[in-house]
Amino acid sequence: MKKVIYNAILIAIILVTIYQIICLPFTFYIWGIGMLIFWIWVKRDITELIAWLLEKKKTIEKPFQEKRVINMPDFEIQRRSYIELVKHCCPTQTQQKLMPFFENLTDYQGNYNYGTTLNYVVDCSTEKSLGFIERLDWKQEVEDLILILDDILNKNYNGLKVDFPKEIGGNTTLFLEDVFGTYNKCLNEHGMQMGFIDTQSDEYVFFVHKVLDRDEVAKLINLIGYNYFEK
């Protein structure tokens, strides 16, 4: 959509410039040529701005799921589902660190500081560098994703090395291209994939699991109270 908008404006500028060259004196159409050159020069910045506006529009149109969840599963079901998810995504050593945490986990839904139990779990996982469930903002760089994936694969999947591209389509920002889809194809070659938790907000909440476990982990995410999706 952002490329369509950008190209539509570019075509409009070109048509106006052609009209000025044919019908108007030099002093008029030089402005059109200047605008055309400027628009091409700032392509990336303009494209990012359009994408940002579209993302914000989407956020406004779709209220955050974490703020409107009504029928959250019973908390004991959520807690046990987190434990089962750990078993699918983490090695024994990490499980030993996380099990006591989840055995003593309490409900943070509506908590002033965290808002949801999921937010609390993600924050604790990140702070302890456990490589379990991670979060990235929509405007972060591809490099941030690579660092997180490398860390997860190193800690949870025996140091698995995956050759991720550094840029997608010449861009380095997560939302500009299908970064996650491209990286999932790289993971798929090793029997792995990213799974995403749908918080319906301007962030990406995800984890890495085996492709063969896809259906099981999707059920666990539903039992935690969210929808699972993949890119």
174 falls in which pLDDT band (50, 70, 90)? confident
The stretch 19-48 carries a mean pLDDT of 57
- Tell me the per-residue pLDDT of 205-227, one tens digit each, with 9 for 90 and over: 999 999 999 999 999 999 999 99
Look at 48 and 178; give whichever has higher pLDDT: 178
What pLDDT does 3 receive?
Answer: 54
pTM over 0.75: no
**Among 105, 101, 114, 82, CA closest to 224:** 82
Q: Across all residues in the chain, what is the average pLDDT? A: 79
| Percentage of the chain exceeding pLDDT 70 | 65
